[in-house]
Amino acid sequence: MTELQLDKRMKCIADCVPDGAILADIGTDHGKLPVYLAMKGRIKRAVAADINEMPLQKAVNNIKKHGLTDVIETCLTDGLKGIEKFTPDCVVIAGMGGELIEQILEESTLPKGGVKYVLQPMTKEDSLSRYLCKNGYVITDEHIVFEGKLYRIICAEYTGEITQMTESMHYLGRKNIEKGGEMLIALTEKVLERTEVKVAGRRMAGLDVTEEKALLAELQEIKFRHFEKKEGETL
Ligand SMILES: C[S@@+](CC[C@H](N)C(=O)[O-])C[C@H]1O[C@@H](n2cnc3c(N)ncnc32)[C@H](O)[C@@H]1O
């Protein structure tokens, strides 16, 4: 069997999947993630699911090529609809827009409890974070990965508890802020830049910028605090 190489983003997602998991990879496309994990003996079994036939066929071919048809099933479905029959205890939804991930969670027919969710939004990370906090999902861990651009990976579980977070936490990730490090500084700078552009645009349009200015202040404080920490460490 040929060794499958994952890029940093996918490797980080794979590392979030617990050993022995029953995995549902939603929007699997090529099916690389379940194939990699099955080849490593890291999962009990998996379902590779996609809404579109063409990508799912790529996954089918990949699974066959690696002789993994007894470990990985495939499913043509929209999001998590009908996925309960595979009884997954870990769900990965990666490489899709944050709003689509919210919609998939909202329309899920899978019992919410007892499942680890590993989510990697391509856009609207703050919106997904707000959705999770408002809808009873607790964010248990988070990562920032640089692979050509910065990606956020969010691990969450459903407990029914509503979590309160500041706006900067939604944009950067509370766990990421706790961990600190260079990736956090890079993400903070990116969000700062984007927010500054937004403030300028809203000012030009004569719109209120109170919320954006409050976010800028939070972000600047985080950047300053973590820069200071980093400088202290290198002295
Ligand atoms: C950009 S690929 C991401 C592939 C892989 N998960 C990754 O992170 O590299 C997005 C995949 O999601 C699939 N997709 C889009 N909407 C979906 C939905 N509602 N349910 C399941 N799959 C969906 C697309 O067909 C496509 O194969």
Q: What is the mean pLDDT of each run of 10 residues along the chain (235 residues)?
A: 83 98 98 98 98 98 98 98 97 98 97 96 98 98 97 98 97 97 96 97 96 96 84 66
pTM of the model: 0.96
Number of separate helices (H) and strands (E) present in the chain: 9, 7
Q: How far apart are CA 233 and CA 225, in angstroms?
A: 12
Q: Which residues pair with 127 in a beta bridge?
A: none
CA atoms lying within 13 Å on the CB side of residue 46: 34
> Measured from the CB, is residue 31 less than 6 Å from ligand 1?
no
> Measured from the CB, is residue 102 less than 6 Å from ligand 1?
no
The pLDDT score that the predictor gives to residue 3 is 67
**Span from the CA of 95 to the centroid of ligand 1 (angstroms):** 6
The pLDDT score that the predictor gives to residue 226 is 85
Q: How far apart are CA 55 and CA 50, in angstroms?
A: 7
**Span from the CA of 229 to the centroid of ligand 1 (angstroms):** 39
The pLDDT score that the predictor gives to residue 234 is 62
Q: How far apart are CA 12 and CA 32, in angstroms?
A: 13
Contact of 108 with 117, CB cutoff 8 Å: no
The pLDDT score that the predictor gives to residue 235 is 53
Probe target for ligand 1 pocket from 50, 60, 117, with the most ligand atoms within 8 Å of CB:
50
Distance of CA 193 to the CA centre of its chain: 22
Q: How far apart are CA 132 and CA 94, in angstroms?
A: 16
Probe target for ligand 1 pocket from 9, 51, 109, 118, with the most ligand atoms within 8 Å of CB:
51
**Span from the CA of 24 to the centroid of ligand 1 (angstroms):** 13
